Amino acid sequence: MSRYEAVIGLEVHVELKTATKLFCGCSTEFGKEPNTQVCPVCLGLPGSTGVLNKRAVELAVKAGLALNCEIGTHTWFDRKNYFYPDLPKGFQISQIFRPIAHNGYLDIEVNGQEKRIHITRAHIEEDPGKLIHTGESITTSFASYVDYNRSGIPLIEIVSEPEIRSGEEAKAYLEKLKSILEYTGVSDVKMEQGSLRCDANISVRPAGTTTFGTKTEIKNMNSFRAVQRAIEYEIDRQIELLEDGGTIIAETRGWDENKGITVSMRSKEDPDYRSFLEHEISDIKLTPEWIEEVRAALPELPDARKERLVKEHGLPAYDAGIITGSLALAEFFDAVYEKYPDAKTISNWIMGELLRLLNARNLELSQAKITPEGLAKLLELIKKGTISNKMGKEVFELMFEEGNDPEQIVKERGMVQISDEEQLAQILTEVIAQNPKSVADFQSGKKQAIGFLVGQVMKATKGQANPGVVNTMLRNMLAEK
Amino acid sequence: MRIKAEDVEKLALMSRLELTEEEKAAYTESLNASLDYMHSLTKLVTDTVEPAVHVLPMVNVFREDRVEIGLDHKQALANAPEAEAGSFKVPRIV
Amino acid sequence: MQLYTLTVHQLSELMAQKKISSVELINAYLERSSKIEHKIQAFITHTKEEALAQARIVDAKRMQGEELSPLAGIPVAINDNICTAGLKTTCASNILNSYIPPADATVVTRLKNAGSILIGKTNMDEFGMGSSTEYSAFTPTKNPYALEAVPGGSSGGSAAAVAAGEAAFALGSDTAGDIRQPAAFCGVLGLKPTYGYVPRTGLISYASSLDQIGPLARDITDLALILNAILGHDPKDSTSATVDVPDFKAGLVNDVKGLRIGLPKEYMEAGVEGKVAAKIQEAVKQLEDMGAICVEVSLPHTEYAVAAHYIISCAEASSNLARYDGVRYGLRVEAEDVLSMFMQTRSQGFGDEVKRRVLLGTHVLSSASYDEYYTQALKVRTLNKQDFDQVWTQVDCLLTPASLTTAFKIGEKAQDALAMYLSNFCTIPVNLAGLPALTLPFGLADGMPVGLQLIARHFDEQTLLRVGYSLEQNTDQTSLKPDLDRE
């Protein structure tokens, strides 16, 4: 047991899934040429005025409710004043004093232990633009380019209480958060496109104490795995430093993915943002009735869906947890189940083959070619004995890569399983004749010798013989001798 | 209550303004004159008064989430002091 | 007949009767400018060729019998903090010296749709920060009544242009009295509409919770015609009101019988110049003779309004002007790194008074001073509004001086920023409360125009016009003309 306890709070920025920006009608589409989705408002041109996107408010409320937050009936926007080249107005419009949602929680499970992580607040704000550096990094660049396509894209920032204690918990928190936001349609939550970004505040303290140590803020983590690694590294770094009699400096550190370390970026001077109310943007007043309507319209959330898979289909909680952890996976499961109502078998194929291939190829489910209908047909073929389970795995991989119909694959590759006894009898007779030693071994009691003989039959049939049938027939034939 | 030259220096950095020593001295004096005047408000007891933010009510002024045509790329960069690679160019940041 | 002295509705009539064309009218104004602009220096940019081209289009439409707005073919000057597409818009600042907006302000679009001819962009105090146009980065504008006097500000160029016959009307902006005080100093009419009644889209912000665009003109009927064209909801501006716009021209009445007019005692006790006070008394008597009921009222927090306004305007300005960083538009001073580029660009781009207000704003918003200054100012803003709410239970409008003095001399206050700010004592409470107010000339005192200010309830511009129109129809004090040919 470590003598130290880590105290971790996460700040997660999530892009809301709107068609347009927070205060102007510019498109939020990802990946366009720089500065082609801009207007006077999001460029901060003199004289520009903005109007709040209604959809962004609705999505933020949805997110807040799904995270068990209280929703503010009267909230507003404030200006956070600071200078940076990617910030076109010299201030960011955010909700400093009255967030749209506060005081929520989500439940995570780590090593079979359930834990509740509280959410301090979730507020709406606009994204700044994007800097592209001419050199390798910001520190080695002689100049930078600014692209304001992202300027003004609506975000919610979700701030957790400092209740996370390990990198593993942080990862579980993020995975849960991601699936909730995905289920509610609030965000695409794609870390690689920047629609989900996470900063971690980390400090350590002697186990059993309650005061907070000096914290560092870690940035630049591009995956959940990176968040976990960065936190683990940073905890060790801080503990080592303290053990060596050093002191932690309050600073912002960046995660270096290649080196697997955090490096100091700048000291945290605690800038005075001079925040004050944004008088040019409307206040938001929500009635309790409207909030309840939104709550009632929330879709089934991950926890409830998991519960359902366990109760209705008898799936193990572990499997149900994995499947419902991703909306795409959960929907895939349901779609297969509609055609082939054998939950455990489906679950085995998803947990086994599907996830194995997705991980190996580093793909999202949407990028794989296999369809739920295809998988249902494949399971049908295996059940009927047309192909073996082993063949099925081969077919599955082809379906995953190319999306072909399983029946067609089986036909094209001549993968049909031979179960016909008459057809097999001749081959078996030949194998028995060619392997007198094995036959003798078997008959003298070395029962395992049968395996070799089955293998020979499989070889002779290029793997098409039904091994079960071959086994039974061999036993019968050798017994007769 | 009065501010000193070093306060003015801090304010100038926060405001991204570079001041000469003479300017710092002049602003210290003139800002104090204004601040003294502003400070007269503290004579009023306002414990029970709500701060006015909007003089006229402004609640739930929304727009629909519909894409509108913004500036074309050339217009967007038309006023840029320095543009390159379709972007605004700035000198090194750190 | 000197076309440049006529009102918009008179010119409109002449054009409708085909006695003059818009091209002739524009030429008359351009000629007038060529004679006197070097004395007045009301303009930052003139739009000669483009104005004539637009006038020809209006004339052609008229020849084809198209029905035209009363503002069609009329030369208008626009304050240089209101965006005009393709035409330099500087805010009289070096930092925007070469800035060309991609789009027109909503009010400019509305005037262009009405067929008005943009004749130029007018001088002002930099970003609207000042009361004399002496804080223009380019040149001070002169008062047409006395070239050694200021025209007032910040919309001093617009007021001087209308007074001197360089534009038939103008649009200015009003944050602290920036339309009304210069209108009063230059002997023309100025109206600050209710906050939100005129769209602010395209108005370059100084203190956006106080800023409002409004007209400067030569009589009440003209103001009514302009309000008809520029008021009304703009979906691009969150602060834009959704209140209906009446036909102000049709609503003009020469009748104040039974109207209750309040005379706030705090204004008369604030050190108003004797000659100004005398003119106010004269106006009160006139109104009473016409059947109005004038009563003394009290707005007890008036003395705190300037300080509250000062804090709020500087706070907002420090934030609104943060966008001028040399990245996307405007001046850039090249430097090694971004921080030095920001610092040098802003130091060289902004004038002294702008820097002063930005520093003040940064101070009152910084965490150590926030409650003491900023929050307290917002509370006083509430008290100020409550004062007005209270008097509206007693009277229909208020009459005050537009300024405690007539136009002061150039150089008199330029070195004393606080004295400059205090020169807007009479106009500032109106901006804090978002109310509509009108200033109109009421004769001369020692050869300089004296202005009356009328204040009404939110969205009750009609009462302002009613009182103004009645004064205009029953006295000869509201229509003044400077003698610029004396030298």
| pLDDT per position as a tens digit, A425-464 | 888 888 888 888 888 888 888 888 888 888 888 888 877 7
Return the partners of chain C (3 or more C-beta pairs < 8 Å): A, B
The answer to whether residue A295 sits within a structural domain is no
Could you list the residue range(s) of the whole structural domain that residue C19 is in? 3-260+435-474
Distance (Å, rounded) from C-alpha A280 to C-alpha A273?
18
**Per-residue confidence band for B53, with pLDDT thresholds at 50, 70 and 90:** confident
Q: Which of A15, A43, A279, A280 to mutate to test the interface with B (most CBs of B within 10 A)?
A: A43
By C-alpha distance, which of A384, A379, A372, A383 is closest to A395? A379
Residue B74 contacts A, CB cutoff 8 Å = no
Count Cβ atoms within 10 A of the Cβ of residue C195 and give its class: 0-12 exposed, 13-18 middle, 19 or more buried. buried
Give residue-wise pLDDT tens across range A264-283.
987 776 789 999 999 999 99
**Chain B residues touching A147 at Cβ < 8 A:** 86-87
Domain boundary pick from A368, A387, A412: A412
Give residue-wise pLDDT tens across range C403-420.
999 999 999 999 999 999
DSSP 8-state class, residue B11? H
The reported pLDDT for the residue numbered A184 is 96
Domain total of chain A: 3
Distance (Å, rounded) from C-alpha A362 to C-alpha A368?
10
User: What chain C residue is nearest to B77 in terms of C-alpha separation?
Assistant: C328
Q: State the DSSP string of C69-90.
A: -TTTT-EEEEETTB-BTTB---
Q: Which helix (H) or strand (E) holds C442?
A: strand C437-445
Residues paired with residue A158 on neighbouring β-strands, in sequence order: A12, A122
Do B92 and C362 lie within an 8 Å CB cutoff? Answer: no
Same-domain check for residues A321 and A396: yes
Return the partners of chain B (3 or more C-beta pairs < 8 Å): A, C
Domain boundary pick from A223, A258, A290: A290
Give residue-wise pLDDT tens across range C320-368.
999 999 999 999 999 999 999 999 999 999 999 999 999 999 999 999 9
**Chain B residues touching C318 at Cβ < 8 A:** 15
Residue C480: how many other CB atoms lie within 10 Å: 21
Same-domain check for residues A255 and A107: yes
By C-alpha distance, which of C359, C311, C430, C269 is closest to B41? C311
Give residue-wise pLDDT tens across range A59-93.
999 999 999 999 999 999 999 999 999 999 999 99
| C428 contacts: CB under 8 Å, gap ≥ 6 | C176, C177, C305, C306, C309
The answer to whether residue C201 sits within a structural domain is yes
Classify C365 as helix, strand or coil.
helix
Interface A–C counts its CB contacts (< 8 A) at 93
The answer to whether residue B14 sits within a structural domain is yes
By C-alpha distance, which of C158, C268, C289, C294 is closest to C213? C158
Q: State the DSSP string of B60-73.
A: --EE-S-------H
Same-domain check for residues A304 and A254: no
pLDDT above 50 for C189: yes
Distance (Å, rounded) from C-alpha A319 to C-alpha C302?
72
Give residue-wise pLDDT tens across range C253-263.
999 999 999 99
Same-domain check for residues A89 and A181: yes
Question: C293 to each of C269, C288, C395, C463, how far by Cα in Å?
Answer: 21, 6, 9, 14
Of A144, A147, A285, the CB nearest to B93: A144
Interface of C with B in 297-316 (CB under 8 A): 301, 304, 306-308, 310-311
Classify A219 as helix, strand or coil.
strand
Do C325 and A90 lie within an 8 Å CB cutoff? Answer: yes
Same-domain check for residues A378 and A464: no
State which amino acid sits at residue C106. T
Classify A464 as helix, strand or coil.
coil
Return the partners of chain A (3 or more C-beta pairs < 8 Å): B, C
Residue A299 contacts C, CB cutoff 8 Å = no
Q: What is the mean pLDDT of residues A471-476?
A: 86
Distance (Å, rounded) from C-alpha A149 to C-alpha B81?
19
The reported pLDDT for the residue numbered A481 is 58
pLDDT above 80 for A1: no
* Share above pLDDT 70 across residues of chain C, in percent, rounded to a whole number: 99
Same-domain check for residues A136 and A179: yes
The answer to whether residue C179 sits within a structural domain is yes
Q: What is the mean pLDDT of residues C284-292?
A: 97
Distance (Å, rounded) from C-alpha A374 to C-alpha A18?
33
Of residues A398 and C223, more confidently modeled: C223
**Chain A residues touching C99 at Cβ < 8 A:** 46
Distance (Å, rounded) from C-alpha C133 to C-alpha C178?
10
Interface B–C counts its CB contacts (< 8 A) at 163
Same-domain check for residues A436 and A403: no
The reported pLDDT for the residue numbered C53 is 98
The answer to whether residue C305 sits within a structural domain is no
Question: C253 to each of A128, C245, C434, how far by Cα in Å?
Answer: 53, 17, 25
Same-domain check for residues A353 and A448: no
Residue C195 contacts B, CB cutoff 8 Å = yes
Same-domain check for residues A168 and A22: yes
CATH number of the domain bearing residue B27: 1.10.20
**Chain C residues touching B59 at Cβ < 8 A:** none
Evaluate whether C194 touches C162 at the Cβ level (below 8 Å).
no
User: What chain A residue is nearest to C96 in terms of C-alpha separation?
Assistant: A46
Largest CA distance in chain A: 100
Same-domain check for residues A274 and A333: no
Q: What is the ipTM of this complex?
A: 0.97
Distance (Å, rounded) from C-alpha B87 to C-alpha A441?
80
The CA distance from A140 to the nearest CA of chain B, in Å, is: 9
The answer to whether residue C423 sits within a structural domain is no
Q: Which of B21, B34, B77 to mutate to test the interface with C (most CBs of C within 10 A)?
A: B34
CATH number of the domain bearing residue C196: 3.90.1300.10
Domain total of chain C: 1
Do A143 and B14 lie within an 8 Å CB cutoff? Answer: no
The answer to whether residue B9 sits within a structural domain is yes
Backbone angles phi, psi at C261, to 5 degrees: -115, 125
Backbone angles phi, psi at C422, to 5 degrees: -70, -15
Q: Write out the two tokens for B8.
A: 């003015």
Domain total of chain B: 1
Give residue-wise pLDDT tens across range C389-448.
999 999 999 999 999 999 999 999 999 999 999 999 999 999 999 999 999 999 999 999
Three-state secondary structure readout of A152-198: CCEEEEEEECCCECCHHHHHHHHHHHHHHHHHCCCCCCCHHHCCEEE
Same-domain check for residues A216 and A365: no
Same-domain check for residues A231 and A98: yes
Of B15, B71, B88, the CB nearest to C102: B71
Evaluate whether C44 touches C122 at the Cβ level (below 8 Å).
yes
Could you list the residue range(s) of the whole structural domain that residue A401 is in? 300-412
The reported pLDDT for the residue numbered C91 is 98
Residue B67 contacts A, CB cutoff 8 Å = yes
Of C194, C304, C458, the CB nearest to B41: C304
Residue C200: how many other CB atoms lie within 10 Å: 27
Evaluate whether A392 touches A442 at the Cβ level (below 8 Å).
no
Do B60 and A284 lie within an 8 Å CB cutoff? Answer: yes
Average pLDDT of chain C to the nearest whole number:
97
**Chain C residues touching B34 at Cβ < 8 A:** 310, 356, 360, 417-418, 421
User: What chain B residue is nearest to C360 in terms of C-alpha separation?
Assistant: B31
Could you list the residue range(s) of the whole structural domain that residue B15 is in? 5-43
Given the structure tokens 């590759």, which residue do they identify? A413
